[in-house]
Structure formats: C-alpha cells, structure tokens
Structure 1
C-alpha cells in the first residue's frame, strides 16, 4: 500500500510539473504530453535500470499511464490565470515528486540487498531523474546542478532508509513529509550549496 501510494503521488506530481514547464516553454499539446510523461516516468525508469528491475515493468502500469494522460490534458486546459500560481504551488508538486521517488528508490534498493552507497545513488537519481529529464527536454540547465538545494534531500532520505531508521508506513510517511518540508524551506529561504566559478 505504501509503495503504491508513493508511486501515484510521485508520478502525478511530476506529470503536473512537466506539463506546466512545457507550457511555459510554449509547447503544443503533444509537447505537453511528452514532457509530462517523461517527467512522470523518468525517475522510475532510472530506478529500474539502477537496481536491475526489468525495464518493461514500466509498461504494466496501464491505469497510471491513463491518469498521467488525463492529468496532462487537465493542466493544458485549465484557465491561464490559474497558472500564475505555479511559482508557488509548482514547487510543492515538485517536492512531492522528489520525496516520493527518493523513498521509492531507496526502498527498492534496500529490498534487493544493495549496499548503502547503492541505496544513496538509487534515492538521488530516482528522486531527481524525472526533473533532470524535464529540464533537458525543455532546453534548460538541470535545476539540481546549479540552483537551490534539491537532490541533497533525496540523498539524505536515502541515507536514513539505508541505515535502517525507517520501519513501517508511519515512519515512511514522516520521512515523506520531512523531505517535502525541507525542500520547501530551502526554496523559501534560498538555501544554496557552496559554488565556485572560474569565469
């Protein structure tokens, strides 16, 4: 149940994120669908590749594919004036997708008996993979590499799971809320990792 809930939340949250960014870049309805789908399923595809789950299992999620399709259509049709709230609510959807897929990736790696380092990589790339694909297809520099703190929250979530601190759905839910909260706080307070430019 926990797995399915996380999968649905993460997939739909990232679909909304991808669809709205496609509209920001003035993509047509096909572009909205493509960016919505690749953002929604990019993280889980990377997860499967990382931990050896057959990649074709992605195509068994027929109901979720239909949900993403309808979500993309809904986003495309909502009144333009509503989109002004994207700068506020879009970060929340993105944070929910990040948290859901980071936890999923870490739990998947743990269940396969992976090492702690593999759990960290699985959490980080599963949580941020969809966002990276979204940014690349939208012609943007991947946000996780140059702007605010993003992927580090997925990594820390993976560390907590990898060390065995998360047992049961209540603890998983608490970790989900914690990752979303930290992501929102880092956006609100403009926390950034150290950087250095040579230009």
Structure 2
C-alpha cells in the first residue's frame, strides 16, 4: 500500500509536468492529455519492451490512468488554482516519483533475473523515460541530459538494487528516502554535472 501511495504521488507529479509543458507550448486539449499520459507512463512502457514484460501489462494500471487523467483535467481547466503553489511542491513530488518509479523499475528487472546492466536501464527508463519522451515530443532538449542531476539518482538506485545491496523491505524504504533526498538537494543547491561546449569555429 505504501508503494502504491508513492506511485500515485509520482503519477500525479509526472502527468502534471507533462500537461504544463504542453500548455507552455500552446498544445490543444488532446495534446495536453497525450503529453501528460506519456510523461507518467511512457518510461514504464519502454522499460517493458526492453526487459521482456508484455506491453499489455501497462493497461492493468487502470487506477493510475484515472488519477493521471483527473490531474491533467484539473490543471487544464483550473490552472490558476491548481498551479498556484506548483513551484513549491512540484519538484518535491517529482523527486518522490523519480525515487519510487526507479526502484520499482529495478525490481521488475530483478524479478526477471536480468543482469545488473538491465536493472540499471530499467530503473532509469522507469524514473526518467517519460520525461525524456515528453521533452522530445515538445520539441525541447531533454532536461535530464543537460541541466539538472536527475537520471544519475535513478542510476544509483539501479546499481544498489542490481548489486543486491538493498533487499529487505526497510532497506528499500531507506533507499527511497535517500534517492528522494539527493534529488531534492540537487535542485535546491543547483548541483550540475560537468559539461563541455565545443567552440563554434571548429
């Protein structure tokens, strides 16, 4: 039940972020719904394809789809009320979603007895894949690759779980808290990975 609650928070945060970007790009109502749904579920769908889980299992998440649709509807029709405090709590709920989804994605791969590399990929795709697809569909450079330390925390979760450094229930919850805290610290303290820009005259 706790993981379901955390997943609900993540679903709400991801679907709202997709809807916000669609509205910023002046997409119509259909575009807002599609981008919101893709952000919330796109990563899981790609993960399923890569690790051999039947894609149809995505449709078993009826409750989460309903929650995402309701969230997108509220944001679209009542943006002034629903987004008033988004800057304050949006990043935090997104951090919860990243941690919960990354851990769940890694556990999916572990259940299939896949190697560590697959566990890491599953964690990253589940936690970040939807946001990457969202940015591509919106015609933007994926945020996770250029500005903020985001996908790194999903990689960390995948490595820890893939190497079986956290297996008990309490260890999984501890890992969730750590990943969430690291993500919060990375955006509050403006942590960034090194980057290199090539000279334009090359």
Confirm or deny a common fold (TM above 0.5). Answer: yes
Kindly provide the CA deviation profile for residues 113-153 of structure 1, in whole angstroms up to 9, marking residues without a partner as x: 11111111111122110110111112210001111111000
Rounded to whole Å, the distance in 1 between the matches of 2:82 and 2:69 is 20
The 1:192/1:131 distance shift into structure 2, 3 A limit, reads same
Report the more deviating stretch, 118-127 or 21-30: 21-30
Residue 61 of structure 1: how far off its partner (Å):
2.2
Residue 196 of structure 1: how far off its partner (Å):
0.9
Aligned to 2:145: 145
Kindly provide the CA deviation profile for residues 92-132 of structure 1, in whole angstroms up to 9, marking residues without a partner as x: 23222211211011111111111111111111122110110
- 1:1-199 alignment, distance < 5 Å: 1=1, 4-80=4-80, 83-199=83-199
Residue 81 of structure 1: how far off its partner (Å):
5.9
Residue 86 of structure 1: how far off its partner (Å):
2.7
CA RMSD of aligned residues (A): 1.9
- What TM-score, normalized to structure 2? 0.89
Do 1:43 and 1:101's aligned partners in 2 also have CA atoms closer than 8 Å?
no
Point out where structure 1 has 5 or more consecutive residues left out of the alignment. Answer: none
Match of 1:103, SS state, is helix
Report the more deviating stretch, 86-95 or 30-39: 86-95
Residue 78 of structure 1: how far off its partner (Å):
2.7
Residue 77 of structure 1: how far off its partner (Å):
2.6
- What TM-score, normalized to structure 1? 0.91
Rounded to whole Å, the distance in 1 between the matches of 2:5 and 2:163 is 23
Residue 35 of structure 1: how far off its partner (Å):
0.8
Alignment size in residue pairs? 199
Rounded to whole Å, the distance in 1 between the matches of 2:135 and 2:160 is 28
Do 1:19 and 1:33's aligned partners in 2 also have CA atoms closer than 8 Å?
yes
Residue 38 of structure 1: how far off its partner (Å):
0.5
Rounded to whole Å, the distance in 2 between the matches of 1:78 and 1:95 is 24
